[in-house]
Amino acid sequence: MAELFSITRVNRLRRAAVKAGKIPYKEGEWALEYQPIVSRFAYDLLSVFDTLWLKPGFELQASVYWSGGNGNGSIWAVSTDTRPDASDENFKLEDKSMDRSREFVPLMQAIEGDGSPWSYLSASILSREAEEFGALWHGCVWSDQEILSKPPPQADGQDSVGRRKSTGVAPVSEWRWCEAVPHTWQPTYADTGTNSEVILHIYNPVGGERIYRATDTYSAGSYVCKTEDSILCWGGPGIIY
pLDDT-based confidence at residue 156 (cuts at 50, 70, 90): low
* Residue 240, domain member (yes or no): no
Judge whether 61 lies within some domain: yes
Same domain, 34 and 87: yes
**Domain assignment of residue 161, yes or no:** yes
Do 131 and 226 fall within a single domain?
no
Phi and psi dihedrals of 198, rounded to 5?
Answer: -120, 125
Query: Which tens digit of pLDDT belongs to each residue from 40-78?
Result: 999 999 999 999 999 999 999 998 888 778 888 899 999
Domain hosting residue 83, numbered range: 2-139
Based on the fold, state whether residues 21 and 90 are members of the same structural domain: yes
Rounded Cα distance between 215 and 197, Å, is 7
Q: Are residues 83 and 133 in the same domain?
A: yes
Looking at the structure, tell me whether residues 16 and 134 fall in a common domain: yes
* Section 113-137 average pLDDT: 96
Q: Which of 187, 177, 169, 160 is nearest to 211 (CA)?
A: 177
Q: Give the N- to C-terminal CA distance of the chain in Å, as an integer.
A: 41
pLDDT tens column, 7-37: 999 999 999 999 999 988 666 555 555 567 7
CB-based contact 203:148 (threshold 8 Å): yes
6 and 108 fall within a common domain: yes
**Taking 80 as the threshold, does the pLDDT of residue 130 lie above it?**
yes
Is position 239 within any domain?
no
Q: Are residues 167 and 91 in the same domain?
A: no
Q: Examine residue 51 and state whether it is found in any structural domain, yes or no.
A: yes
**Percentage above 70 pLDDT, the chain:** 77
**Which one is predicted more confidently, 115 or 166?**
115
Pairing of strands 52-54, 111-113: antiparallel
Based on the fold, state whether residues 13 and 122 are members of the same structural domain.
yes
Task: Report residue 171's pLDDT band, with 50, 70 and 90 as the boundaries.
Answer: low
Tell me the pLDDT tens digit for each residue of 185-220. 999 999 999 999 999 999 999 988 999 999 999 999
Give the model's pLDDT for residue 71: 85
SS3 129: helix
Q: Which of 139, 164, 199 is the last residue of a domain?
A: 139
Count of the separate structural domains present in the chain: 2
- Angle, vertex CA 61, rays to CA 225 and CA 95, nearest 5: 75
Position 147 pLDDT exceeds 80: yes
The predicted model scores a pTM of 0.84
Among the candidates 120, 139, 158, a domain finishes at 139
